[in-house]
Structure 1
C-alpha cells in the first residue's frame, strides 16, 4: 500500500477570497500489489499487540489480509463453538486457535446433516434434522457420537489446552472426563449434555470446578438419566461448586441433601424441567450458603413435600426466581415458600396458576412486603 504525497501549497499571503477546495487535486490511497509488505518488518509479538487493540468486530476481516494475519488472528481467539467434529479430530482447531480457554463441543457431537432444511429448536439449542428424527420425539443413538469418539476428542483437547477454563460437551464418559481432570487444572466451568450417572465420577479430580451445568433430559433431543447416584458423585467430587444447574435431572431428597452437605460454597442452584421425586424440597435446608434459587419450566414444584414441620428452612436464601412454572398446587407452593421464608426478592415470570390465594402464600416469607406495591414480570 503506497501513499502519494504532494508538495505543500505556497505560504505566500493571498488577497483572493477563500474558495471551496478542489477535491480533484487530491489523490486517495492506491494499492500496488508489487509494493513491499512493510508489516513484515514487525515481529509477531508487536503486530499481535497492534491487532489486539482493534475492535473485535474487525478481527475477522483483518484475518483475511494474508496467511500471517490469519494465524495471528487465531491467537487472539479464546472462545469457540465447534459445529463440525472433524475440526477437532483432524487437529485443525489446535493449529488455528492455539490459545482457547472456552470450548463448546455440544453441536459437533450431534451427527446431523448441516444441509438439511429442517431445524428443530428447543430454547437455546438448535439442530438440523432429517430421518434420524424419529416419531417418539428423540434423536436416534446413531445421531450422537459414540462415547469412545467423544473421549478420544477430549484426550486431544486435554493435551493441547492445559489452560482451558470452560468446556461443554455431549455424550462424554468417565474416561474422557478423567483426562480433562488430569490435564486441565484451571477448568472452572463444565457443561455436560446426555451423560449418565457414572460419567460424573470423572469430574471428581477437577479441583477448581466452580460452575456445573448438567443436561439430562432435553425435550425432543435426548433422554439420559441423572439420579441421586450422579448427584452424590458430583457432590463428593466437586466441593468448591458455586453455581449448579440441573436440567431434566431425576433425583430426590437424598441427592439434594448430599449437594448441600458437601458443596458448602454453593450460592446459586437452578432446576429446569426437573423430574425430582416428592420430598426433594426438604433437602434445600442443608444448603447452608445458598443465596439464589431458580426454578424454570417445572410442571410441578414438589409432588409430595411432606409435613410442614419436616421441611426445614434455607436460612441464607435471598432470591427466589420462578419462570414458566406450574404453581397451581397450593401445597407445593406453600412448602416452597416455607423453605424460602427468608428470601427478600421473589420474581415470577410467565407462571401458570398465579391466583390471589396462591400469591397470598408469599406472606409466609417474613421479609417480603406484598402491599402496597406489586411488581409483575411477564404477561
Structure 2
C-alpha cells in the first residue's frame, strides 16, 4: 500500500513539473521534495483496518507470503503468527523460553525432534532420512552411529520444554517428540486434551506409561531404531503398556521396534478399534504373525523395509486368520523366505487389495503363494524385476474378482509373451496401468481386444 501511494504520488509530481514552471520559493514546498514526500507517505493506512479484517485478508494469501508479511511491522507479525497452524522447531531455546506459544498462539501441529538433538548448525553435512534430519559435525567421523546418546538433550530438559509447550499450546492435535520421558508425556496428556496424533522418537518402554493419559489419541508412530542414526528399545513390555493405555487407537506404526507374539496379541486384544497397522524394519521374534488374528477390526496391514517376514511362523493350524483385512502392502521388503511369505498370505487370505513395491526375492515361486487370496480385486506390482509373465498369468487368471491391475517397472515381464487368455482378461478390467519397461507399448498384442474402448474402463501406459 505504501509503495503504491509513493509511486502514484511521484508520477503525479513528475507530470506537474513538466507543465508548470518552478520558482525557487515553490521548490521548497514542491510535492517532489524528499522531506515532503516522506511525510505524505508516512501514515500507515492499514492501521484503520481492524484485526479481524486484516486476518481475513491474510488468510486469502498464499502461505509462503506469511513470512514476508510478518516483517512489515509488529502488528502484522502478531497477526501473521495467528494464521500459522504447524511449525517445525530447530532451536530448543525457542521452546524453553515459551516464545513458540507467544509467536504462534493457534498452533495445532508441532515438531521438536530436530531441536532435541545437539547438532552443529554451521555444518554443511545434513543427514536426512524418512524419520529425522540432523546436521553432523565432520570432525567426529568415523563412528558407528551418526547420533550418539550423549548428543541428545537430557530427558529432564526435554520434559521441561515439553511442559512449557503444552501449557502454551493446549489446542495441539499433533506433536512429534524425541527422548521424552513419562513425565513429559503426562504433561502433554494433561494439558492437550484434543491431541489425536503423536510421533515418538528414541523413547524407552516405560516412557509409554505417559501416553495412557491421551484419551483421544488415535494415530501413533513409535520410532525405536533408525539404523546408523540412533537406537532405542521398544519391546513387548512397551507394546503391552501402550495397548492397555491407548484403547482408542485407529492407526499404529512401529518403526525399528522389537517384540513378539505377546506384544502384538496385547495390541489386538486391547486396541479393538485398530484399523491400520504398519511395521517398518521390524525386529519381531518368530511366531508374531499368528498374533494378528487378535486384531479383530484390522483393515490395512503394511510391511515396509523388513529384512524378513517371520523367521519361524509355526504350523498352519496355529496361524489364525484376519477376516476383516482389506489391504496388504509390501514395500521394500525381502521376500526370500518362502515359509514366512506363505504364512503371511495364509493369515491375510481375505485381503482384496495387494500391493508389491520394490520387494527383493519376489519371483514366480514366491508370487505363487498369493493364490491363497481368492478375493483380490486390485493388484499392484512395481519394481518386481524377477517376476515373469508366466508367473503373473498363472495366478491372476484364477482371480475371478480382479478388476484393477497395475504393472510398473517389472523388466522381466515381456509384451511378446502375452497370451490370448491374458489379453481377454485385460479387456475385461475396469482399470489397467501397464508399463513393465520403458519400451512397453502394448499395441500389437492387444490391437483387437477393445482395451480402453468399453464404457467405464480406462487404460493408461
Question: Normalization by structure 2: what TM-score?
Answer: 0.74
Q: Deviations over 1:293-345 (max 9, x none)?
A: 00000000001000011000111000000011000111000000000000011
Contact 1:203 1:238 in 2 (8 A): yes
Q: Which runs of 5+ in 2 are unaligned?
A: 13-35, 378-394, 411-461
Question: Normalization by structure 1: what TM-score?
Answer: 0.90
Q: Deviations over 1:327-376 (max 9, x none)?
A: 01110000000000000111000000011010010000121274248633
Contact 1:134 1:140 in 2 (8 A): no
Partner of residue 129 from structure 2, selected from 106, 119, 122: 122
Aligned pair in 2 of structure 1 residues 235, 89: CA closer, same or farther (>3 Å)? same
Aligned pair in 2 of structure 1 residues 108, 286: CA closer, same or farther (>3 Å)? same
Q: Distance in 2 between matches of 1:377 and 1:256?
A: 34
Partner of residue 186 from structure 1, selected from 168, 182, 194: 194
Contact 1:349 1:377 in 2 (8 A): no
Q: Which runs of 5+ in 1 are unaligned?
A: 7-30
Q: Distance in 1 between matches of 2:65 and 2:154?
A: 38
Q: Distance in 2 between matches of 1:32 and 1:51?
A: 28
Q: Distance in 1 between matches of 2:140 and 2:279?
A: 29
Partner of residue 207 from structure 1, selected from 198, 215, 238: 215
Aligned pair in 2 of structure 1 residues 180, 134: CA closer, same or farther (>3 Å)? farther
Question: Which position in structure 2 is the counterpart of 1:102?
Answer: 109
Question: Equivalences for 1:217-366 in 2 at 5 Å?
Answer: 217-366=225-374
Contact 1:132 1:140 in 2 (8 A): no
Partner of residue 195 from structure 1, selected from 164, 185, 203: 203
Matched, 1:51 2:58: yes
Larger Rg: 1 or 2? Answer: 2
Matched, 1:376 2:401: no
Q: Distance in 2 between matches of 1:290 and 1:365?
A: 17
Question: Which position in structure 1 is the counterpart of 2:174?
Answer: 166
Contact 1:350 1:377 in 2 (8 A): no
Superposition RMSD on alpha carbons, in Å? Answer: 1.8
Question: Which position in structure 2 is the counterpart of 1:67?
Answer: 74
Q: Deviations over 1:6-48 (max 9, x none)?
A: 8xxxxxxxxxxxxxxxxxxxxxxxx954321111111212211
Matched, 1:80 2:87: yes
Q: Distance in 1 between matches of 2:341 and 2:189?
A: 40
Aligned pair in 2 of structure 1 residues 102, 133: CA closer, same or farther (>3 Å)? farther
Aligned pair in 2 of structure 1 residues 213, 118: CA closer, same or farther (>3 Å)? same
The total of aligned residue pairs comes to 355
